[in-house]
């Protein structure tokens, strides 16, 4: 009497046909160490969109796949090589979520009926069977929507602070700083006494961050932004930045401002620039255009690198990640509270208009999938 | 009875006036642990040009400074902030060189008459007083011109291989690879069994490298360069590159080729790309324009950083650097032989036509200053 339910699947064919469907799948009986979770909430994170949509041309999406609920589109030929590894394979989507355990294997029977937070992929579904070790039981009274985003954003925000500490930096710069993630980071930095320079793109975003206690908030669209960035970086001594944008010149501007401040701290002239390492981590791609680095003001002690949660967690080791998870559970509805601007059902996620809305990745906009809605 | 001699000095005033002069200076008597070296050969390295010329506008150079031998020019106002630390200070120039010890302090009297290689700045001069520990006695019979470049290029080339090893890479990519430095690197890699992918810009440069045993030589101007770069990187397994160019898209193309090869080595699809770290080090600025990184093909495990010899040596520690120096002395006229295309005197270095010639930094062109020539 195995359960069956819908599962959102993304697929790219060899000829570049992109297909998004809701498939009816058998969940399968849980093994001894497995559970079956009824998914009640799963966020759409920017990190989910890569797998969900691939490099599809958004303009080509049409709402039919052989009569089933689904979407079809085209991946331009020149982008196919970049996703060769997934071509022809139907991929389940959804990094994380929360729900209730409706079946459990012999060794973990005590979890039946528990509400849990889950990381492990394939969460855009009615049911998800997985190892019990990949879930965290939620404290009593916590709703599924409050536990749905307890992994990616909280661990990323904590990971930034851990990275900064372990590499010897004393203050941090963050771009696209008014996001859910950015708000978490600001709360952590306030609690931990780490100065944080927030860069946003509107007065509303600046106000939002100030309301939770941010002291350094810069709007990159303001006149005089470059000067104020230099001041804030000199004042805080920030030598590490986390950048969600990726494209354009902002990252380089940050490195240059750091170098300028570091040169100001030198006791004697060094023709190669400062001796402090300036580190920019690019962890997102809100701007998928090229990164432009005007190195003239960088000196030679700089590094621009990709930052990704899972390799960070592996490198950090069990003790550090255990401590991070405990903190997330303890502060789930305070530091790590997520705000959702819209709740949609599984079928709605395939509606072209809805899809375009969550694909825009607007700061402050956040979608939650509740499979129970349809 | 202290010696006096000429010393090349570079100075930038607060109003942006750039002045290059030959000053007559007293050398001063050596302290107990010091020596005075009569400079017989000092190379003009790309790394000397930054201090020598600063950000002067080359078009403004005129050959007069109050009747003395010298050059005058203008630093554009917007470039002054970048060199604030040296404004108003007369800077001696010339990282390294070789010559004969003509005076020595009590504790190092045995060095008198020795020919030595020197690192320590201020080598574009008739004489240089410095600590005995900053010189290396040359083996008997070695000419000054053979010892003049025994520090910067040899230690940089060895430093590349040390860096690659210590960071776990098994093959290297090098740009502007036909330079003196690039030839040294190829010889080291052959001796040490490290696969090296050389990128050059002309058939002549490719031929030069093949003549010393290079097997992977790519001309970036050839049609099909991108495909051949991908092949060479996949074949060697290179995941680290050292780039002398800096500006433009070549560095990013290398990272993308590395990611493509690394994805090919994955046993299963990873939506975030490969799990191998791809490292590009920018150690020069032959192209001072912006670095353009098209990150779409990078994955997330990449890093682009500045690389500079002196911080590397400090980090590497005494044992590693001692081993490196010993190897340079042992292989001074083989692995670490430098070729000079032109020898000039101190006064000639201030001739605008000569200066423009060495400022061009053409691969294969290399100037040596011999103060004894005037």
**What was the ipTM of the complex prediction?**
0.88
Note whether A300 contacts B285, CB cutoff 8 Å.
no
Structure confidence at residue B271 (pLDDT): 77
Mean pLDDT computed over every residue of chain A: 93
Note whether A292 contacts B288, CB cutoff 8 Å.
no
Same domain for A187 and A257?
Answer: yes
Domain count of chain A?
2
Q: Please tell me the distance in Å from B93's CA to the nearest CA on chain A.
A: 11
- Which residues does chain B have within 8 Å of residue A310's beta carbon, measured at their own beta carbons? 272
- A248 found inside a domain: yes
Q: Give the pLDDT band of residue B296 (cuts 50, 70, 90).
A: confident
Best A46, A49, A78, A82 member to test B by mutation, with max B CBs in 10 Å, is: A82
Same domain for A344 and A200?
Answer: no
Most confident of A268-277, B144-153, B267-276: B144-153
Same domain for A284 and A156?
Answer: yes
Same domain for A103 and A245?
Answer: no
- B328 found inside a domain: no
- Give the C-alpha separation, B47 to B21, whole Å: 19
Structure confidence at residue B31 (pLDDT): 96
Looking at chain A from residue 301 to 320, which residues have their Cβ under 8 Å from any Cβ of chain B? 301-308, 310-311
Q: Tell whether A247 is within 8 A of chain B (Cβ).
A: yes
Same domain for A356 and A233?
Answer: no
Mean pLDDT for the stretch of residues B363-370 = 85
- Give the C-alpha separation, B267 to B287, whole Å: 38
- A94 found inside a domain: yes
Which CATH number do you get for residue A278?
3.40.50.720
Same domain for A209 and A96?
Answer: no
- Which residues does chain B have within 8 Å of residue A263's beta carbon, measured at their own beta carbons? 84-85
Instruction: Note the pLDDT tens digit of each residue in B301-316.
Output: 999 999 999 899 999 9
Beta bridge partners of B127: B38
Same domain for A309 and A166?
Answer: yes
pLDDT of B166 over the 60 cut: yes
- A305 found inside a domain: yes
Beta bridge partners of B73: B18
Q: Give the pLDDT band of residue A84 (cuts 50, 70, 90).
A: confident
A and B: number of Cβ contacts within 8 A: 105
Which CATH number do you get for residue B33?
3.90.180.10
- A328 found inside a domain: no
Same domain for B275 and B240?
Answer: yes
Note whether B86 contacts A297, CB cutoff 8 Å.
no
Domain ranges, residue A181: 152-313
- B331 found inside a domain: no
- Give the C-alpha separation, A48 to A54, whole Å: 10
Same domain for A135 and A169?
Answer: no
- A275 found inside a domain: yes
Note whether A304 contacts B301, CB cutoff 8 Å.
no
Q: Tell whether B168 is within 8 A of chain A (Cβ).
A: no
Structure confidence at residue B288 (pLDDT): 87
Q: Tell whether A84 is within 8 A of chain B (Cβ).
A: yes
Same domain for B170 and B125?
Answer: no
Same domain for A158 and A306?
Answer: yes
Same domain for B232 and B297?
Answer: yes
User: What is the pTM for the complete model shown?
Assistant: 0.89
- B69 found inside a domain: yes
Best A305, A308, A314 member to test B by mutation, with max B CBs in 10 Å, is: A305
């Amino acid at each position: 009497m195995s359960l069956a339910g819908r599962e959102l699947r993304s697929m790219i064919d060899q000829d570049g046909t992109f297909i998004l469907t809701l498939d009816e799948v058998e969940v399968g009986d849980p093994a001894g160490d497995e559970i079956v979770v009824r998914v009640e909430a799963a966020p759409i994170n920017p990190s989910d969109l890569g797998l969900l949509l691939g490099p599809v041309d958004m303009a080509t999406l049409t709402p039919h796949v052989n009569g089933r609920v689904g979407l079809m589109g085209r991946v331009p030929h020149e982008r196919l090589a970049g996703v060769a590894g997934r071509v022809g394979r139907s991929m389940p989507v959804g990094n994380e979520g929360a729900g209730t355990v409706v079946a459990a294997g012999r060794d973990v029977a005590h979890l039946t009926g528990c509400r849990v937070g889950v990381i492990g992929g394939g969460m855009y579904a009615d049911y998800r069977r997985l190892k019990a070790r990949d879930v965290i039981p939620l404290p009593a009274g916590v709703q599924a929507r409050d536990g749905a985003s307890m992994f990616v954003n909280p661990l990323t925000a904590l990971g930034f602070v851990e990275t900064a500490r372990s590499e010897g930096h004393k203050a941090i710069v963050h771009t696209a700083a008014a996001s859910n993630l950015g708000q978490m980071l600001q709360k952590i930095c306030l609690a931990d006494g780490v100065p944080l320079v927030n860069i946003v793109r509107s007065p509303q975003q600046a106000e939002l961050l100030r309301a939770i206690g941010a002291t350094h908030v810069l709007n990159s669209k303001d006149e005089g932004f470059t000067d104020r960035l230099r001041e804030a970086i000199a004042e805080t001594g920030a030598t590490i930045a986390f950048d969600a944008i990726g494209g354009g010149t902002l990252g380089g501007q940050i490195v240059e401002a750091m170098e300028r401040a570091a040169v100001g701290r030198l006791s004697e002239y060094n023709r190669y620039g400062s001796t402090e390492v300036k580190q920019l981590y690019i962890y997102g791609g809100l701007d998928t255009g090229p990164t432009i680095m005007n190195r003239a003001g960088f000196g030679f002690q700089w590094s621009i690198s990709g930052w990704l949660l899972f390799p960070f967690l592996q490198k950090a080791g069990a003790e550090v990640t255990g401590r991070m998870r405990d903190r997330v559970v303890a502060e789930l509805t305070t530091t790590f509270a997520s705000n959702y601007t819209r709740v949609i059902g599984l079928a709605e996620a395939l509606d072209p208009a809805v899809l375009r809305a969550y694909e825009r990745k607007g700061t402050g906009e956040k979608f939650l999938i509740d499979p129970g809605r349809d």
